[in-house]
């Protein structure tokens, strides 16, 4: 029986899609060993109890160390550059020891499925003579952009000379040399290359090194579908190993129908299910859902502008506010805002997002445009207001607004009046109706890709399974 070891990058937004992929492989007859870092394993136990990591006879959880000292706060996402550097430098030896232990005590490992950010695993796959598929959890468009980092640096477009270039109009310059991305602006390129903040320079070098090493994988899979990003995937397959779109994974996962598997979840924050009951009481498409994901942070000023924009819109809203949403301090909203919106707003610390986006009362999504949020919104036909903050969120926003026609952009420095206008337009305006129609069209294309046996994602999934099974015999 094929046995896949699945290794997500140790961040919530990467763990969730890897779990979906692991469940899909399990439903196709694979034994699964799911490998979290010790830090996130403990977070998972605190969030969901020890049963969360008990697994099944054919679905095991294991851990490797991340090489970092114990943090002061065990429930805050780790600093990404620090964590990425440590894992890449220290995790290979423990990972090889883990493979040896699994082979001896459970069932021989026949393949590895790892997040691209865990590319150190390729060395282990070669040593154990087993195939490895890498998983790019973001959109294919952002992978093209990251691959163009050396080109952008060579042309002298980045790094920015200083932080004034963030606001002086320089980033509005249109560039036309990134394949499949004609017309995008410098501001739409993933942000690390600006090299303004601590850790940016490391991340630029790290990502270039990762992508070079990724070219040694047997294949790359992406959580997208051919109808959405087929031209980009074709281009990527000329640079990297064959790239396959096997998403949206949330739709493929929902088709499995295995209750034992459904109980396996990996949320590192406790979910607030009161929000679903609250949504049940609201009219069809009347609520705007607001969530900036598991990592993105904003300033207290951005938080205040956002809250008053929502207040002035007079729309009902469900807003997920993590305790660590604001840079360097706890997210605190003005009492006047809470009083003014108490009858039409609900605040939650975390929620079951897929359930929320599938709820009939949700008519729009104000999002940071992380890829999980973007692809889940597309698969549920929910139009968006995109306010990207960092990393791949910028190109995801550009595609959503300019190519797919399913979103409107809100600058991260937008004032409350601009946010109000966008919310009102999305929920009740002519432009909002137009992008809602586009969103429904994309939802129908998702259904075709993921439910029809000859749908593009179904066909690509079978190719990947055949590759893993053939290579493992």
- As a whole number of angstroms, the distance between CA 377 and CA 353 comes to 10
Contacts of 22 (CB under 8 A, 6+ apart): 4, 6, 32, 34, 59, 113
pLDDT tens figures, 27-51? 999 999 999 998 888 877 777 777 6
Q: How confident is the model at residue 323 (pLDDT cuts 50, 70, 90)?
A: confident
User: Lowest-pLDDT range, 154-163, 169-178, 310-319, 332-341?
Assistant: 332-341
Q: Which of 338, 312, 322 is nearest to 423 (CA)?
A: 312
Q: Which of 224, 207, 30 is nearest to 119 (CA)?
A: 207
Share of the chain above pLDDT 90, in %: 75
SS3 of 365, please? strand
Residues in the chain: 473
438 domain-assigned: no
Do 460 and 403 lie in one domain? The reply is: no
pTM, to two decimals = 0.92
435 domain-assigned: no
355 domain-assigned: yes
Kindly tell me if the per-residue pLDDT of 471 is higher than 60: no
Considering only residues 232 and 263, tell me which one the structure prediction assigns the higher pLDDT: 232
CA 11 vs. chain centroid, Å, equals 9
User: Lowest-pLDDT range, 171-185, 280-294, 312-326?
Assistant: 312-326
399 domain-assigned: yes
pLDDT tens figures, 108-135? 999 999 999 999 999 999 999 999 999 9
pLDDT at residue 72, rounded to an integer: 58
Q: How confident is the model at residue 270 (pLDDT cuts 50, 70, 90)?
A: low
Do 8 and 120 lie in one domain? The reply is: yes
41 among known catalytic residues: no
284 among known catalytic residues: no
Kindly tell me if the per-residue pLDDT of 451 is higher than 80: yes
pLDDT at residue 473, rounded to an integer: 46
Do 112 and 244 lie in one domain? The reply is: yes
- As a whole number of angstroms, the distance between CA 239 and CA 232 comes to 11
- The strand pair at 111-115 and 59-64 is best described as unpaired
Do 232 and 314 lie in one domain? The reply is: no
Do 231 and 377 lie in one domain? The reply is: no
166 domain-assigned: no
* Neighbour-count burial for 130-153, b at 16+ CB within 10 Å, e otherwise: bbbbbbbbbbbbbbbbbbbbeebe
Do 407 and 311 lie in one domain? The reply is: yes
pLDDT at residue 12, rounded to an integer: 82
Kindly tell me if the per-residue pLDDT of 211 is higher than 50: yes
- Structure token pair of residue 28: 């196709």
Do 421 and 329 lie in one domain? The reply is: yes
- Structure token pair of residue 245: 């779109």
Kindly tell me if the per-residue pLDDT of 316 is higher than 70: yes
- As a whole number of angstroms, the distance between CA 356 and CA 276 comes to 7
Kindly tell me if the per-residue pLDDT of 266 is higher than 70: no
Do 208 and 343 lie in one domain? The reply is: no
Mean pLDDT within 344-353 = 89
The partner residues of 5 in beta bridges, in order of sequence, read: 33, 112
What CATH number did the domain enclosing 111 receive? 3.40.50.2000
- Structure token pair of residue 163: 């932080």
Residue 314 backbone zone (phi > 0: left; psi -120 to 50: alpha; other: beta): left
Do 296 and 331 lie in one domain? The reply is: yes
Q: How confident is the model at residue 268 (pLDDT cuts 50, 70, 90)?
A: low
pLDDT tens figures, 54-88? 778 899 999 999 888 776 565 566 788 888 999 99
253 domain-assigned: yes
Share of the chain above pLDDT 70, in %: 95
Do 78 and 99 lie in one domain? The reply is: yes
pLDDT at residue 178, rounded to an integer: 92
Structural domain harbouring 407: 273-428
Report the domain count for the chain: 2
User: Lowest-pLDDT range, 217-226, 344-353, 397-406?
Assistant: 344-353
From the candidates 26, 41, 66, 115, give the one annotated as an active-site residue: 115
Considering only residues 330 and 219, tell me which one the structure prediction assigns the higher pLDDT: 219
141: enclosing H helix or E strand: helix 140-147
User: Do 375 and 445 meet the contact criterion of CB atoms below 8 Å apart?
Assistant: no
pLDDT tens figures, 412-429? 788 999 999 999 999 999
SS3 of 33, please? strand
Start-to-end C-alpha separation, the chain = 9
Kindly tell me if the per-residue pLDDT of 329 is higher than 50: yes
Do 286 and 253 lie in one domain? The reply is: no
Q: How confident is the model at residue 267 (pLDDT cuts 50, 70, 90)?
A: low
pLDDT at residue 20, rounded to an integer: 94
DSSP state string for 291-333: E--SS--B-HHHHHHHHHHHHHHT-EEEEE--TT-BTTS----
Mean model confidence pLDDT for the chain: 91
185 domain-assigned: no
Q: Which of 145, 143, 231 is nearest to 186 (CA)?
A: 145
158 domain-assigned: no
Do 113 and 233 lie in one domain? The reply is: yes
């Amino acid at each position: 029986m094929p046995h896949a070891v699945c290794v997500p990058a140790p961040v919530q937004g990467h763990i969730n899609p890897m779990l979906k992929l692991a469940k899909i492989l399990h439903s196709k007859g694979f034994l699964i060993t799911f490998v979290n870092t010790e830090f996130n394993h403990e977070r998972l136990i605190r969030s969901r109890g020890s049963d969360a990591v008990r697994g099944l006879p054919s679905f095991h959880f294991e851990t490797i160390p991340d090489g970092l000292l114990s943090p002061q706060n065990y429930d805050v996402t780790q600093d990404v550059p620090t964590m990425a550097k440590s894992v890449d430098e220290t995790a290979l030896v423990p990972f090889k020891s883990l493979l040896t232990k699994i082979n001896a005590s459970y069932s021989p490992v026949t393949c590895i499925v790892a997040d691209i950010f865990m590319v150190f695993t390729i060395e282990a796959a070669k040593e154990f003579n087993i195939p490895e598929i890498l998983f790019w959890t973001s959109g294919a468009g952002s992978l093209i952009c990251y691959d163009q980092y050396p080109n952008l640096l060579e042309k002298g477009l980045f790094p920015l000379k200083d932080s004034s270039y963030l606001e002086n109009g320089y980033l509005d310059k249109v560039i036309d040399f990134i394949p499949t991305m004609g017309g995008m602006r410098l501001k739409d390129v993933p942000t690390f290359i600006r090299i303004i903040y601590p850790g940016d320079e490391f991340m630029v070098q790290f990502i270039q090194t990762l992508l070079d090493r990724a070219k040694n994988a047997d294949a790359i899979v992406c959580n997208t579908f051919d109808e959405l990003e087929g031209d980009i995937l074709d281009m990527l397959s000329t640079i990297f190993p064959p790239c396959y779109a096997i998403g949206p994974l949330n739709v493929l996962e929902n088709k499995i129908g295995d209750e034992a598997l459904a109980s396996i979840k990996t949320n590192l924050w406790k979910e607030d299910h009161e929000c679903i009951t609250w949504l049940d009481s609201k009219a069809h498409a009347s609520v705007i859902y607001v969530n900036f994901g598991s990592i993105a942070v904003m300033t207290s000023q951005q938080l205040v502008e956002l809250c008053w924009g929502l207040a002035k819109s007079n729309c009902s809203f469900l807003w997920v506010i993590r305790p660590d949403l604001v840079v360097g301090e706890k997210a605190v909203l003005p009492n006047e805002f809470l009083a003014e919106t108490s009858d039409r707003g609900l605040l939650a610390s975390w929620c079951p997002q897929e359930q929320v986006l599938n709820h009939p009362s949700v008519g729009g999504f104000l999002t940071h445009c992380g890829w999980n949020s973007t692809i889940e919104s597309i698969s549920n036909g929910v139009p968006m207001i995109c306010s990207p903050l960092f990393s791949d969120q910028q190109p995801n926003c550009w595609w959503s607004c300019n190519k797919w026609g399913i979103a409107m952009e809100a600058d991260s420095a937008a004032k409350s009046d601009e946010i109000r206008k966008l919310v009102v337009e999305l929920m009740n305006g002519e432009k909002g109706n137009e992008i809602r129609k586009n969103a429904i069209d994309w939802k129908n294309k998702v259904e075709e890709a993921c439910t029809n046996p000859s749908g593009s994602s179904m066909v690509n999934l079978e190719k990947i399974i055949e590759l893993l099974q053939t290579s493992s015999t």
